[in-house]
Structure formats: structure tokens, C-alpha cells
Amino acid sequence: MFSSYDYVIISSRKPIYILGHIVIAKFRKKKITLTIVEDYRSMNVDSSWSSNIKTKLYFNYVLKYIDGVFPISTIIAGDVIRTNKNLPFLELPIFTNFENFEENIKVNETSYFLFCGSAGYFDTIKFIIDSYTISLLDSKLILIINGNKDQIEKVLSYINSLPTNYEIICKSNLGYRNLVGYYKNAKALLIPLNPNKKDTARFPHKIAEYCASRRPIISSNLGEVKKFFEHKKNALLIDNYEITEFNSLLRFVEENPISADEIGMRSYQLGYEVFNYKRYGPKIIEFLESL
């Protein structure tokens, strides 16, 4: 397989796996690069000996012997430079195929806010649910979540513990076309980020899909989101990670549908310009050829 390619791009987070590919790539005289979309230390907080070994392998060997990296945020790029100042990198933001969002797709639900993400982000999901339930809203809350059985059961258990006067719907394993339909028909698309290192360093690709959906995005005014988005211009952003503040933006969407639609359209315009995957092909090729 390696003899057919000049470059290898890895997206794994497993140091031993990456190092194995580095050895093969060096033997085959191929350039090998790594995408970095999350802060490694904050995603691996386990203090066990095996976790400590993996962290040392990642920072002392992976980032030393890899030929180049694609960090998704300025914070991650800064960490890379501090670890290996000579390591070539190309900072790549989120992107998606905007052509997948051109079709008008009907879904079985109306009047809803939507979150899509991993059930493993339970704290984020709980924050959304708590923000939704502190006041009665006219819209439903739909959570499209995927994960293992225990993660999904934890979310469902929390929802079942709430009063029954809140309409919260969980869905999983949707086909991509159906998922796009739910995006495009939502009142707003939700993705709050916690002001900790883990969330501040990452830049969820889901935001690019949200932009392509032409619906208003409700998120947090920090990290990469703050770099690209402006409150009430092309997104709705909380300054403080508080359920009352997030709830106020849910109510803003319900009370100001025209303004919400305009914000959603401007998020599409921004996304089409800077999060369109077609924009980055030449830059990636140029970077690889420079290694």
C-alpha cells in the first residue's frame, strides 16, 4: 500500500499505532503527517502508568519523528511549537462539503432545537438539557447522539429523571442525508463549549456542517469560535458558561425568528468562504510537497 503513495496522513490518537506507521513510512521513504484535532493531555487525564507512558510516547517520540502536523486550532499549534519548534505544521480549520446541504430534505419533526454529538460528552449534553429545562419553551429539544451503550444509557437516564412536561427526543444512528435534513429544519443548532483547555483547544467539525445548514448556531465566545464568529452577526454566543445565559439565546431564537434566520444565513456565508473543503486542497498539497 505505502509504495503507491508519496505521503501518509494519520488521524489516530494512539501513539504506538502512529509510531508503527512512522517506522514503516521512514523505511519506505515516505513523508508522514498527523492531524491533531484535540489537546492530547486534556483528553487523556487518566493518571495510570499506561496513560503516562502513552503521553510520553506522544510528546517525546511522535512529535519528534513525524514529518509534519495539521493542528486544528491556534492553541494546539502553539503546543506543537513548544514541543518541537522545528516541526512543520499547517493549521487547518474545520471544513465540510457544502454541496451535501443543498437539497431540501423533509423530516418528521417540527419546531425544535438540535444538538448532534457524541454521548461521551455527557457534561455538554447535561448543560444543554439544563439550559433548556429552566424555562418552558415552545420548541422541542432533539439530541442526536452516538456512542456506546453505557454512554447513551447515561443520557437517557438523566432525561428520564426530569419532569415529563419537557419534550426531549433522543435519536441515534441516522443516515447522513436524514441527519442533514434535521440540521436544515432546526430552529437553532447547539454546540456550547466549556471554557476549559479541552474545549478551548478543539474546533468541532460539526460547526462547519451547522454553517452549511443555514441555521443559527448557538455556541460559546471562546477559542476558534471567537476567532471566526461574532455574536448576533453570524452566530449566537455566550460569554459565560451558564445555563441562564444559554437559555436566553434559546428564547431569543423563539422570539426573533427573522433575526435568527438572518444570523443563520450569515453563518452559511462565512462557512462557505472559510470552511468549504474545496478551499484547502491546494494548501494541503503545497504543504506536503514542502516537507
C-alpha cell recorded at residue 19: 509510531
CA distance 133 to 159: 10
Non-local (6+) Cβ contacts of 84 within 8 A are 63, 64
Among the listed residues 188, 190, 38, 72, the one whose alpha carbon sits nearest the alpha carbon of residue 127: 190
- Report how far residue 56's alpha carbon sits from residue 24's, in angstroms, rounded to the nearest whole number: 21
Range name among 1-10, 110-119, 230-239, 250-259 with the lowest pLDDT average: 1-10
Q: Give Cα 98 distance to the centre of its chain.
A: 16
- pLDDT score recorded for residue 47: 67
DSSP 96: B
Average pLDDT over residues 73-97: 94
pLDDT of 3:
57
Which residues lie below 8 Å from residue 51, measured CB to CB, with a gap of 6+?
A: 44
Quote the pLDDT of residue 178: 95
With bands split at pLDDT 50, 70 and 90, how would you rate the model's confidence at 81? very high
Q: What residue type is 223 in one-letter code?
A: G
Mean pLDDT, the chain, rounded, equals: 93
Q: Decide: helix, strand or coil at residue 217.
A: strand
**Res 99: pLDDT:** 95
Q: What is the pLDDT of residues 127-150, one digit of tens each?
A: 999 999 999 899 999 999 999 999
Q: How many helices (H) and strands (E) are present in the chain, helices listed first? A: 14, 9
Q: Is the pLDDT of residue 1 over 70?
A: no
**227 touches 210 (CB < 8 A):** no
Dist CA 191 CA 229 (whole Å): 13
What cell was used for 61?
A: 517520540
Most confident of 24-33, 50-59, 237-246: 237-246
Containing 21, the helix (H) or strand (E) segment is helix 15-27
DSSP summary character for residue 91? -
Rounded to whole angstroms, what are the CA distances from 36 to 74, 117, 150, 170? 11, 19, 27, 30
Backbone phi, psi, residue 43, to 5°:
-90, -5
The better pLDDT of the pair 45, 96 is held by 96
Q: What is the pLDDT of residues 205-235, one digit of tens each?
A: 999 999 999 999 999 999 999 999 999 999 9
CA–CA dist 195, 123 (Å, integer): 13
Task: Identify the pLDDT of residue 42.
Answer: 80
Backbone angles phi, psi at 179, to 5 degrees: -60, -45
**pLDDT greater than 90 at residue 65:** yes
